[in-house]
Amino acid sequence: MVDTTSPFTKSVDVVTTHLEMLAADDLCASLCTDLVFREAENACPELNRFLYTAVGGAWYWIDRLSWTYERWLAYLDREQLHTWIGYVNETPAGFCEMEQQADDHVEIRSFGLIPQFVGHGYGGDLLTRSVQQAWALGASRVWLHTCSLDSPLGLKNYLARGFRVFRTVRATELIPTEIPGPWPGSGWRS
């Protein structure tokens, strides 16, 4: 039974899909002309927390909401972790956090668009550039996971870019009854 006094008040079945790309040639590129892709070269918890909540707030990205500044800094201030941001007209439109791992694997840890930029072709472009950058880091494998709480456009984008499913996991998770949004009470969804 779920404790209704807890901030987690709803039990849902979640399907997590793990995907991988094993060769740079597997990438099916999709590029648009007005997305500028740049790396954030300084560890900045304020920036990454903003991107995490702006992109994931509509999709129950809640795992990092309780992180302290120090925990964010420890997570970001590692040479294996890279944050790339896609800009449209000098405005952040989305981001990708990628982590270099053992055996030359690169995991795309967080990826997505701010809702105002969904539906304009930027997702395919941002993912293409992110995967290209992962291969440029010397990857032998690029991988990620998404779940049924994420935007359904994400899985479609990953498959369209050439990722292949290698594992599916089903589990029951506790989530808030309201979508957290980028700040408490916003409750929006793209």
Tokens (6 digits) for 99: 């982590």
Tell me the residue range of the domain where 153 lies. Answer: 10-175
Residue 85 within a domain: yes
Residue 183 within a domain: no
Residue 153 within a domain: yes
Question: Each residue's pLDDT tens digit in the chain (190 positions)?
Answer: 445 456 557 899 999 999 999 999 999 999 987 999 999 999 899 999 999 999 999 899 999 999 999 999 999 999 999 999 999 999 999 999 999 999 999 999 999 999 999 999 999 999 999 999 999 999 999 999 999 999 999 999 999 999 999 999 999 998 888 877 776 666 555 4
Question: CATH number, domain at 117?
Answer: 3.40.630.30
Q: Is 182:54 a contact under the CB 8 Å cutoff?
A: yes
Residue 185 within a domain: no
Residue 47 within a domain: yes
Residue 130 within a domain: yes
Residue owning tokens 């029951």: 172
Residue 15 within a domain: yes
**Residues facing residue 85 across a β-bridge:** 38, 95
Residue 143 within a domain: yes
SS3 state of residue 141: strand
